[in-house]
Amino acid sequence: MEDSEIFEKETLNKLHLNSPPGGWFPALQDLYWCINESNSSCTDLFFSPHLKRIRIYVSWMWDHDPIPPGILPILAPIILTLPTSGLEQMSVGDGYQAMVWAHFKDSFSSVILRCGPSFTDYNSPVPLSDAALDHLIHLPHLRTWRIQSPPPTYSASSLPLVFPPLEVLTLGKSAACGWLPLLRRLEDSTTQGVTPLSKAKEFLKVLNLEDIPGINIDPSFVSMIQCFRNLVFLNAEDFCQYEY
């Protein structure tokens, strides 16, 4: 749903109150939601219990673009109602509008905590709670993961974790500074030749390290990723400050 007509408030209330069982579009499996003023309060009318894939973007591309007042408080409770029983993929925006996405940390964390084993792809700049991150790690079929948050604090007793069979891993901004050392710790915690990264080492093909401040490609850096022998694409970006 890229755009919608501007409904009167009374019309929206009637549509919500008279929604049939399963919603107005009960068979909908794919939803593209470009958030703007006209659809910010009615997108939940398109939610379906059979939703499998959802892509969410904002219509304000850059961090300096103005955000219409009143939209953020409306969106948080709508995001909380996203159906997750069959959800497989979620893609949310991009690296811009970081302050907008940070506003929804609790909402998206709650959604992720309700995702089940069918969930395979999470591509989002939204920071997540430690509980949501830990839940993602334990999803058995997770293939694509973009992380903007630092890892939870794991004690020695909570290791080893068992990472899912990731195929694409993107560590955004300063998140890599915490995740890469954790991955090395996990690789070092070998038990009878099996490590918590065994599945990820076998399946990981793409590793993106985005906007890492002051990154140095040196032996220390290489030692943190050299266990991924099946990589076919490695992208390591230094942080670059643009002037407008």
Q: Provide the mean pLDDT of the chain.
A: 79
pLDDT of residue 68: 66
153, 121 contact by CB (below 8 A): no
Q: Any idea where the domains of the chain sit in the sequence?
A: 1-124, 150-244
User: Confidence class of residue 56 from pLDDT cuts 50, 70 and 90?
Assistant: confident
Chain segment 172-220, per-residue pLDDT in tens: 766 877 888 888 888 877 666 667 888 998 999 999 987 766 666 667 7
Question: Is 132 a residue whose pLDDT tops 90?
Answer: yes
> What value does the mean pLDDT take over residues 135-158?
84
Chain segment 70-129, per-residue pLDDT in tens: 777 888 888 998 999 999 999 987 655 566 778 889 999 999 999 999 999 999 888 899
Q: Fill in the DSSP letter of residue 217.
A: -
pTM equals: 0.80
129, 151 contact by CB (below 8 A): no
Element (DSSP H or E) covering residue 58: strand 53-58
pLDDT of residue 190: 65
User: Confidence class of residue 236 from pLDDT cuts 50, 70 and 90?
Assistant: confident
- Rounded to whole angstroms, the Cα distance separating 29 from 52 reads 5
100, 72 contact by CB (below 8 A): yes
Length of the chain: 244
